[in-house]
Amino acid sequence: MLSILYLLFFLAGGVAITRLLLPRMRPVKRVYIGLSLGVLLLMWLPVLWAYAFCFDFLSHGLAAVSLLGLCGLSYVFRDKRPAVPFDGRERRALKTLLILVLPLAVLGGYLEYTHSIRLAADGSLHVGQSTYGDLSLHLAVATSIVGAKFPLHNSLMLGATMAYPYLSDSIASTLILFGTELNNAMFLTGTLMMTLVFAGYALLCMQLCRRRGAAVLAFFLLFLNGGLGFLYTIDATVQGYSVTTLWDNIRTVLTGYYQTPTNQPDPHNIRWVNIICDMLVPQRGILGGWTMLMPALNLLVPPLCQKQKHSPRAIVLLGLFAGGLPLIHTHSYLALVLFSAGACLYCVLTEQENRWQAFKPWLIYGVIAAALSLPQLIAFTFVQATGSDHFLRFQFNWCNNRGGNGLVDTYLWFYIKNIGLPYLLILLALCQRKKGDEVRQNRLIASGAFLIYLIAEFILFQPNEYDNNKLLYVWFLLCLPMAADYAMEIFERLRGLGGRRLIAVGFLMTCFLSSGLTIARECVSDYHAYSAVDVETAEYIRENTPEHSVWLTGNQHLNPVSSLAGRTILCSSDLYLYYHGFNTGARRMEIAAFYENPAENLDLLRKYQVEYIYVSPYERSDSQYTLNEEALESLFPLVFETRGGHNRIFEVPQQYR
């Protein structure tokens, strides 16, 4: 209960600050910006104080006092004009917003509940298909932050500073600190952030779309995205004497592991995954990043399109959202920077009278964002990127050009079959020759959005080439309003044509069938992650061992020591570490040598100050070594064992450390 009150306190503080600074903003949008600001401050303020103390009750108390101070400062520098009233226009806007957001918020909440280590009747913890791989990384980050000193160390790789953007997980750490169970902390914060993402994009579409129904279409084209992968599902296949029917294929989609129409890299080269199922739910980095990206775009883009001046207070808030992004989600930060650069260039070059006046707001925004973001980039992001030889490399057409070995599909066909009809609509909308504010808006947005597209097509920013889609999705969401407007214009032009509604139904089915099958699959997916004895082991570790103690375990990604108990281990799975720039080969060999012959490798314990040794079925079955459990029993006292010896914990005596 205390954790919920603390969360609500920050949300209320964010709303109060925006009410004081931006009273002339429409109420619905202002409240949304305020809620997002509250989440941003909840991510950042406790962490900033943790650098002076640690991530504990004191830092959170000081963070709450700091929020009150920011509210007081906002009152001093408030805009004294009367607030815009909540009138009939706002009631209609709120109604539209609720109609759009609530269904997806319910879907997102359901997936967060079932996919964030759902507790089963037998005491085990279950996840979904999309979170089976990624979730344990975020669990480890969230649990290890509690009580930690900063700068934060990486609990999955002893001795490494945490350069991975961790603030999307630290918000869950706050709830855990105040007594919320791990699964509920992940569920509550995940659902909150997803709802804010949905609301932010809905508001952006409502401001940018010009035709009736276009905002609704653009909204669902983003979150229910899916290309033409459904064609492979409805197509019967013949293999020898075996014929696979449509119903067999649908059964495979609903029961197979990653057989959905939006995620089949092999054999169909389908890589444009559904944003809800494969991005927002499993990847909390992009979830947190979009939670801050949406309010930034709402503050930045609509006034540009409507030829309005940004108020100084709005620019400050915009700089705050942008500057806080690097340690939340680096790709979202980069996308916002690229879009801002392209849009700035367009605004300055198209200004005929006073280009300095056109550039000055951009300069203020850029200075604030740079002042806040550069320390993060220098201390964390650049260190990680330059410390590895597989970040930042040239490769055309990202994952369609696997390893730079040539295109799998022809360029246009790759995007048409992956993105579907919205890709063609975006291109057609940009080719309109008519004059007016609509064309100007499209070109302004395209000048920034296609700069993102261009950079993402030629430079890879992660070892995993697939991750460039985190940039391309921002290009996509920015261009969808113009695509939806163009689609509605075509529909209007067909007025009087027989079968117009049938064409519209066919268009909608083509756009949404792939995502519909993917979401259905995700809703029914259920994977066992941690057994009841793993949960029992984690409870013992939390209650009986020091926080942030050092553990020797295997390299499994489903590790109750690191993920459920938040303890530091020597080396986790390459599923997490390789893609963050770590070469784990030497560390893995040391661990294998110790488990195989502990007596001859006792120096490893002193070298890494290991306090506990963990043994589970994973360590017993690892193909890299043969566990010598008898030697462990003879050397180290056994302090914990589950029934049947499933999981065992040995304590390392001080003499070996």
Assess contact for 162 and 185: CB atoms under 8 A.
Answer: no
The pLDDT, as a whole number, for residue 393 is 83
Residue 410 tokens, joined: 């022809």
What stretches in the chain show pLDDT beneath 50? Answer: none
Quick check: 281 and 108 in contact, CB under 8 A?
A: yes
Specify whether the CB–CB gap between 649 and 614 falls below 8 A: yes
DSSP string, 255-310: HSSS-STT-BHHHH-B----HIIIIITT-HHHHHHHHHHHHHHHHHHHHHHTTPPP
Give which of 253, 268, 109, 295 is closest to 188, Cα–Cα.
109
| Cα-based distances in Å from 387 to 159, 331, 390, 581 | 14, 18, 9, 7
Instruction: Select from 206, 176, 183, 241 the least CA-distant residue to 98.
Output: 206
Peptide bond into 267 cis (omega under 30): yes
Strand partners, 638: 650
pLDDT at site 236:
61
> Hey, is 49 helix, strand or coil?
helix
Q: CA 387 to CA 370: how far, in whole Å?
A: 23
Q: Which residues have a Cβ under 8 Å from the Cβ of 264 and sit 6 or more positions away? A: 229, 232, 258, 270
CATH topology of domain 531-656: Rossmann fold (3.40.50)
Among residues 468, 45, 140, which one has the least CA distance to residue 272?
A: 468
Residue 464's pLDDT is what? 81
Give the start-end residues of each E strand in 445-496: 459-460
Residue 235: the pLDDT is 76
Residue 265 C-beta-side C-alpha neighbours within 13 Å: 8
Kindly report, residue by residue over 389-419, the tens digit of the pLDDT. 566 788 899 889 888 889 999 999 999 999 9
Q: What DSSP string describes 149-208?
A: -SSPB-TTSTT-B--S--HHHHHHHHHHHTT--HHHHHHHHHHHHHHHHHHHHHHHHHHH
Using CA atoms, how far apart are residues 156 and 577, in angstroms rounded to an integer? 8
**Cβ-based burial of 253 (10 A; exposed 0-12, middle 13-18, buried ≥19):** buried
pLDDT digits (tens, 9 = 90+) for 52-86: 999 999 999 999 999 999 999 999 999 999 999 99
Q: What are phi and psi of 638, to 5 degrees?
A: -85, 120
